[in-house]
Amino acid sequence: MHILLVEDDHHIGASLQQALTNQGYRCDWVQTVSLAKSAFEMSQYHLAIFDWMLPDGSGVSLLQELRKQGAELPVLMLTARTATADKIVGLDTGADDYITKPFDLEELLARVRALSRRQSVTPSRQQVIGDLYIDQDQQLVTIQDNSFTLSATEFAVLQALAEKPGRYLSKAQLERVVYAWDKAVTPNAIEAIISRLRKKIGSERLITLRGVGYAMETK
The top-level CATH class assigned to 126-216 is mainly alpha
The pLDDT of residue 37 is: 92
Average pLDDT taken over every residue of the chain: 86
**Domain ranges in the chain with CATH number 1.10.10.10:** 126-216
The pLDDT of residue 162 is: 87
**Domain ranges in the chain with CATH number 3.40.50.2300:** 2-120
CA distance 68 to 133: 29
Instruction: Give pLDDT tens digits for 32-87.
Output: 999 999 888 877 788 999 998 999 999 999 999 989 888 889 999 998 887 888 88
pTM of the model: 0.61
CA distance 199 to 57: 43
User: In the chain, what percentage of residues exceed pLDDT 90?
Assistant: 40
Angle between helix axes 105-120 and 10-22 (nearest 10 degrees) is 60
The pLDDT of residue 6 is: 96
Helix (H) or strand (E) holding 100: strand 97-100
**Fold designation for 2-120:** Rossmann fold (3.40.50)
Q: How far is CA 145 from the centre of its chain?
A: 28
CA distance 205 to 173: 19
